[in-house]
Amino acid sequence: MTSSVDLSVDILIIGAGPAGLYAAYYAGFRGLRVAVLDALDEPGGQISAMYPEKAILDIAGFPSVKGRDLIDGLLAQAAPYSPEYVLGERASNLRHLPDGSVAISTDKDRTIFAGAVVICGGIGAFTPRPLPKGHGFLGRGLSYFVPDLSAHADRDVVIVGGGDSAFDWAAHLEPIAKSVTLVHRRDKFRAHKASVAKVFDSSVQVVVNADVSAVRGEEWISEVDIAHKAGHQDTLSAQSVIAALGFTADLGPLNDWGIAIENRHVLVDTRMQTTAPRVYAAGDITDYPGKVRLIAVGFGEAATAVNNAAAVLDPDAEIFPGHSTEQEN
């Protein structure tokens, strides 16, 4: 991570998720100086924040790869080209300069000058929906993400939610936690059926039609109350409470960048260019007719964006530089 000084690069990648990291590799492969900007403190985007231990099954060439391992591989792939990582900073303003380049300022008073920008911000900045009764316990037993499973080992864990993250974390924590209880306000789940079946076949206690009505403890959470819609209440021992209640997404300053946005997605053409000059986008944040939101698709979009940006930066450059196997080692 760089210190808070201005930077000047050929391409700025906004977003350090899978598409952004692949864009960083491809920019380096094309001989371009690149910086990667992300509001999170570590690369990986939603994967690192929400499901680093989850097996991802739809990455070409990998029958199964853990989220953490995928991110590690992408970082290693880009490493020979020494991209600058600017983490823990959010993009704020974008200015088009007289020479055609752009300047992006961050919320930490840094300015990054770039010949072109590739927005790979996923769903934008995402904020977890809070657990109302958990106020004051964040970092004292309450968490919204599980980047490290071992942090919950040998604890009584209560997971609140009914989506994929809740069930994935329940399944992964069940072998190492003292106990796992999953609490959901309804008896229907948003999670994938296979994930639900796996949890129900495990030792995880699933409590439906109920809410967490109280969280108690001194320095650390020690117990929670579960209020059932039927009218009764239980008290459970708990040293970890994981609130998997979803999150709100916000494109924030991107709305003021002069790019076309519909339904919180950035519109792009076949070159992955937005409606603003030298501003491209790739990954889940983009939209166009027939769009499919998969990590694998984001990789292709990232390469398309970088190659087209490279041709704009150097009119003598080819859009397609040839296959990597044609390059000398």
What is the pLDDT averaged over residues 122-146? Answer: 83
HSE-CB at 21 with a 13 A cutoff on CA atoms is: 24
- Annotated binding-site residue? 85: no
d(Cα 222, Cα 67) in Å, to the nearest integer? Answer: 31
- Annotated binding-site residue? 38: yes
- pLDDT score at 196: 96
Evaluate if residue 253 carries a pLDDT over 70: yes
d(Cα 215, Cα 275) in Å, to the nearest integer? Answer: 48
- Annotated binding-site residue? 164: no
Q: 280-303 pLDDT, tens per residue?
A: 999 999 999 999 999 999 999 999
- Report all structural domains of the chain as residue ranges with CATH numbers, in order of start: 5-124+246-311 (3.50.50.60), 129-244 (3.50.50.60)
d(Cα 192, Cα 204) in Å, to the nearest integer? Answer: 17
pLDDT-derived band of residue 147, with 50, 70 and 90 as boundaries? confident
- pLDDT score at 249: 65
- Annotated binding-site residue? 46: yes
d(Cα 319, Cα 218) in Å, to the nearest integer? Answer: 61
- Annotated binding-site residue? 107: no
- Annotated binding-site residue? 51: yes
pLDDT-derived band of residue 264, with 50, 70 and 90 as boundaries? confident
d(Cα 86, Cα 60) in Å, to the nearest integer? Answer: 29
Q: Where are the alpha helices (DSSP H) in 129-284?
A: 164-173, 193-200
Evaluate if residue 126 carries a pLDDT over 70: no
